[in-house]
Structure 1
Amino acid sequence: MTSLQLLSFLLLSCIIVSASTYEGEEEEALGSQSEHTTTTKEQQNLETKFRLYRDTAEGSCQIFVNQLETLDKCSFNASLPLVMIVHGWSVDGILESWIWKMAAALKSQHNQMNVIIADWLTLAHQHYPIAVRNTRTTGQEIALFLEWLEESVQFSRSNAHLIGYSLGAHVSGFAGSFINGTKKIGRITGLDPAGPLFEGMSPTDRLSPDDANFVDAIHTFTKQHMGLSVGIKQPVAHFDFYPNGGTFQPGCHILHVYNHIAQFGIAGITQTVKCAHERSVHLFIDSLLHKDKQSTAYWCNDINTFNKGLCLSCKKNRCNTLGYSIREERLPKSRRLFLKTRAYTPFKVYHYQFKIHIINEIQGKPIDPAFTMSVAGTKKDAKNLHIPLVEGITGNKTYSFLITLDTDIGDLIMIKFKWEGTPVWENIWDTFQTIIPWTKGTHRPGLIVKAIRVKAGETQQKYTFCPQSIDNIHLHPSQEKTFVRCEDLFQRQNRK
């Protein structure tokens, strides 16, 4: 079993054991998925606590439905937008630290807003199938809370933004579907919406685009084992973001468990297990704290196509910003967007498509050399970039791939392209020289790199690079060639 399989296995085992131990409750939870009747609840029966975040020693102030004086006491401002944070399944019955970090980030960057934490711990701190069943109850209570705000202080539900993590994403969806009237909640953001007991369900039984005027979701842990994934894999929003493919996240390797145990004690195991799942939360917080480093994602069919750099287009709204500052646009069909991120904050990287035209003069089977590049920009340089070719070099062909950089290097000026030679390749070339001798004045067979075309995803700039020396265009093991900006004759012909 690989480390990735072990990591997801640990968390999924908790869910499976919980489900098998409470099989009757699981059937009840699943059975309730098709029910859509709301029940009126008296305030004293509400399980959800609505805590208005305040940057004070107390941290929050509880608002009670049907008690107007608590709105004044907590300084709720009905003229300002409302952002409600909805946590997920609870293992220890305590509000997790990320909740307060997100609340603080929202207030620090957007002080003119109400930030409320929907505390449904009494319903979430249960065996997983029971917590799943309780998502509907909590959704009803949030809907009731928003309806009360509308009736009592004329707060418009269109100014409400629910941010739900894991099970909390589906809670938010149910709040949107249960709220009375024709008008919808303004926005719902699902942060790695939970997968078990929701994957494959109908839109009415999970978070869906119909639950708000605008719905976005970030999927960070959709790796499936035993038919389950911690986060839901299917699209559930108008825009569904899949950072690094959505299956797993950089920096969440099982080997980091030792560092986490040193930092958190035995709780460090839990920290490692939930690393990829909770990455969705920290990507969203990152979008609040680093306004100058917003991550761009691109519409694409799948991660393999994206890794070839074939989807870096922003034409016709094909790209969007991940996180709080997303461009809100209702679409008739869910749109999948992909991006790469770093393992730590700030998570933003810069995406580049490289298309390299290579001619292989050596006849026979494809060869698999290793290439690296160094790129010079107007702001910075990037050196020794590994080129991720996934196929052998054959004949006369153009190869496309994605390269990401951690920093903005500005406009590209020059590229140095190197064939990383090894003793094996040196011996192969010596063998070719023996078998196919060439006379003085003829060139030694090798690879010819005719042109390198680059597209920058973030700026949408396009560049073409040609060999600096046209007298020595052949590339051999251990050699490096310099390419400089030139005019793309193909593009020029298309403009005519």
Structure 2
Amino acid sequence: MTMKLLIVFGVAWLSHLVTPVQMKRQAVFSVKDEERLSRWQEPVLSFIKKLYRGRGRSMASTSSRNTIDALCHFNLWTRKNPYVQETLLTDDVALLSQSNFNASNPTRMFIHGWNMNGHSHTLLINLKNEFLANEDCNFIAVDWETLANTGSYFSSASSTQPIGVATGDFINFLITQGLNVNQLHIIGFSLGAHIAGKAGNHASEHIRQITGLDPAYPGFSISNTDARLDVTDALFVDIIHSNSANLFEGGLSFPTSIGHVDFWPNGGIVQPGCSESAVCSHSRALLYFIESINGKTPFTSTKCWSHADWKTGLCNNNTQTEMGLPVSTLANGNYYLDTNGEAPFALG
């Protein structure tokens, strides 16, 4: 199964080299500099990207935007409607006021990946249930199912930019209706991580946090930060790598650090209990995050220079933080930890 998946991705990758996904603008710094962005650089890059931040609707054609809006839905669950979602629409004030959305509560927004949906997928429902059990919040799922289930990964990847802009427009609408961006946390899985980045970039205000769960790598590059999640898209960006390697090495997500803090459970490539299944390892990032919300055992992680150094104990006295929801927003750099091969995954 893994070999078949790699062959499919490989063929698509070669065709993608001939007809690459269109990118809006190129990065203004080198690959080497971007791989571990210094904190002092972020305000400069953030200012540059801020000049391009959207105000209201994007400049895409009306017909194109109408098509995207029709294929992108925003589903809301709260403790008042924990089982049946309410669908919200950008700029529909009446619909929002009739819903259970409460601008005074924290807002958790999840963006799914390829071959998933934002209304009934098991992992989405589990994530929603854990958040609502943990806090009285607005849980919103960005549902781009039609474009995420085209049968072609690269077709879906090319939709991340317009879906990200549409999501940014929706966030801007919520801001006008009282949403406090300091209480907004976006969680994006796989392709959804890059949608989250575009949404954060397009938002009229700098949002608090984006969590990237094994951000998809095929079809994206280190240098083009506008097309992928990067540290200027939110005040704090944390990444969990669970299948991070080059495509032909069996990896589906970014093999380099792209956040303020990057977590590398079990080395970040193959997860225990997954054998050589790339899809299994890829989805573990989401499973780890779900467990971190209410789990009794923490995903304690240690800052280190490499996985090899961490394994040999060279970093035993270094800074620690928890991976997942309880992560310290003061953390930075690369953190390592081991997990169990089955749930509960955390080892403490």
Normalising by structure 2, we get a TM-score of: 0.82
Displacement of 1:224 after TM fit?
A: 3.3
Deviation at 1:57, TM superposition (A): 8.2
Q: Residues 41-440 of structure 1 correspond to what in structure 2 (within 5 A)?
A: 44-45=66-67, 46=69, 47-54=71-78, 59-90=84-115, 96-110=121-135, 112-126=136-150, 127-151=152-176, 153-180=177-204, 183-226=205-248, 229-254=251-276, 273-290=278-295, 292-314=296-318, 318-329=319-330, 331=332, 335-350=333-348
Post-superposition offset of 1:230:
0.4
SS in 1 for 2:158: helix
**Structure 1: any 5+ residue segments left out of the alignment?**
1-5, 255-271, 351-496
Report how many aligned residue pairs link the two structures: 314
Quote the Cα distance in structure 2 between the aligned partners of 1:147 and 1:93. Answer: 20
Say which SS state the counterpart of residue 185 (structure 2) adopts. Answer: strand
Instruction: Write the distance in 2 (CA, Å) between the matches of 1:175 and 1:57.
Output: 25
The answer as to whether partners of 2:321 and 2:331 remain within 8 angstroms in 1 is no
Q: Deviations over 1:218-247 (max 9, x none)?
A: 000024352673011111111100000001
Q: Which residue of 2 aligns with 1:470?
A: none
Q: Which has the higher strand share?
A: 1
Q: How many Å separate the matches in 1 of 2:167 and 2:99?
A: 18
Q: Partners in 1 of 2:119 and 2:336 — Cα distance?
A: 33
> 1:91, 1:21 → 2: CA distance?
24
Determine which structure has the larger helix proportion and give its number.
2
- Mean CA deviation greater in 12-21 or 129-138: 12-21
Instruction: Tell me the SS of whatever aligns to 2:110.
Output: strand
Q: Which has the higher contact order (CA 8 A, sep 6+)?
A: 2
SS at match of 2:170: helix
Identity %: 27
Deviation digits for residues 294-328 of structure 1, max 9, x if unmatched? 111111111111111221224xxx21110001111
- Match of 1:14? 8
Call closer, same or farther: CA 1:227–1:274 in 2, change over 3 Å.
closer
- TM-superposed CA distance for 1:174, in Å, is 0.9
Paired residues of 2:118 and 2:141 also in contact (CA < 8 A): no
Deviation of 1:21 (Å): 6.1
Between the aligned partners of 2:156 and 2:133, the Cα distance in structure 1 is 32
SS in 2 for 1:324: coil
* SS at structure 1 position matched to 2:9: helix
> Do the aligned residues in 2 keep the contact of 1:214 with 1:330 (CA within 8 Å)?
no
Contact 1:196 1:228 in 2 (8 A): no
Deviation, 1:155, is 1.1
CA deviation vs aligned residue, 1:334-375 (integer Å, no higher than 9, x gap)? x1110001112221225xxxxxxxxxxxxxxxxxxxxxxxxx
Alignment CA distance shift 1:308-1:71 (3 Å): same
Q: Deviations over 1:170-194 (max 9, x none)?
A: 11011111223xx311100000000
| Post-superposition CA distance 1:146-168 (Å, at most 9, x none) | 111111x2212222111000000
TM-score normalised by the chain length of structure 1: 0.59
Please state how far the C-alpha of 1:23 moved relative to its aligned partner: 7.0
The alignment yields a C-alpha RMSD, in angstroms, of: 2.6
C-alpha spacing 1:11/1:96, structure 2 compared with 1 (3 Å): farther
Report the structure number with the largest CA radius of gyration. Answer: 1
Deviation string 1:46-65 (CA, Å, 9 cap, x unpaired) is: 13100002565863110011
Distance 1:281 1:57, change over 3 A: closer
Amino acid in structure 2 at the alignment position of 1:156: N
Q: Distance in 2 between matches of 1:92 and 1:65?
A: 19
- Which amino acid is 2:284 matched to? R
Q: How far apart in 1 are the matches of 2:119 and 2:112?
A: 10
